[in-house]
Amino acid sequence: MDFNWQNYFNKELKKIGDFIKENKMRITMHPGQYTVLNSNKENVYRRSIEDLRYHTELLDLMQLNSTAKVQIHVGGVYGQKKKSLQRFIARYKELDEHIRERLIIENDERSYNLEDCLTINKSTEIPIVFDIYHHEIYNNGKNLREAFKDVRKTWKKKDGLPILHYSSQRVEGSFGNHALQIKEDHFKSFLEEMRGFNYDIMLEIKDKEKSALRALAIAKRLELKNLNI
């Protein structure tokens, strides 16, 4: 049975969108790990398109502008990284325009680093979410400032401010696990290195709002008044 959720939730989604706009929020959506646009399996690819369409329609029904984004990773390597990267580019170009308008990609810590994402951007103009932690693990030798200069060029005015993901390694966790709470010294070092740039930060830290409040307090002490977290 088909369920027209768009019509059923239309009024509620508009109310949510109005609340977001009235409170000057910016939101993004991050589909799950099984949404893989460059998958070498046709059924996964087709389901991924449907998932991207669903997330895009949610933002559209909230009547949010093009600064509200849908974020994904590039995907798998499948033993052929160059071919898999080109497959992402080709499939991105086949997406409906309203999906492309919202889609952004993130550098990861294992398969596609910032340089790979910049290669994709040259062919697609897709904006890049700059994940600081992933860049610390997997990079081509660029420091944060050098890397961010490249990242911000991928964002047009209609896309809003560039988005950065901030996190750090969980000391007692396995490789790639995010810290339970913000590490003040690490965060201060990051802010100082990025001083002078304008961007939105998303904290990928387990205790969420608690660390967000601490981050704002740290930024205030450093006299960074326009930090968006």
**Which sign does the torsion angle of CA 148, 193, 132, 102 carry?**
negative
Q: What are 210's two structure tokens?
A: 């608690």
What is the pTM (predicted TM-score) of this model?
A: 0.92
Local structure of 88: helix, strand or coil? helix
Predicted pLDDT of residue 66: 98
How far apart CA 128 and CA 125 sit, in angstroms, is 9
Predicted pLDDT of residue 1: 57
* Nearest Cα residue to 35 out of 17, 49, 56: 49
DSSP at 159: G
How far apart CA 31 and CA 105 sit, in angstroms, is 12
| DSSP letter for each residue of 143-157 | -HHHHHHHHHTT--G
* Nearest Cα residue to 206 out of 227, 229, 182: 182
What fold is seen in the domain 5-128?
TIM Barrel (3.20.20)
Domain layout of the chain by residue ranges: 5-128
* Nearest Cα residue to 160 out of 191, 135, 190, 127: 127
Predicted pLDDT of residue 180: 76
Tens of pLDDT, residue by residue, the chain (229 residues): 589 999 999 999 999 999 999 999 999 999 999 999 999 999 999 999 999 999 999 999 999 999 999 999 999 999 999 999 999 999 999 999 999 999 999 999 999 999 999 999 999 999 999 999 999 999 989 999 999 999 999 999 999 999 999 987 666 655 556 667 898 999 999 999 999 999 999 998 888 899 899 999 998 898 876 666 6
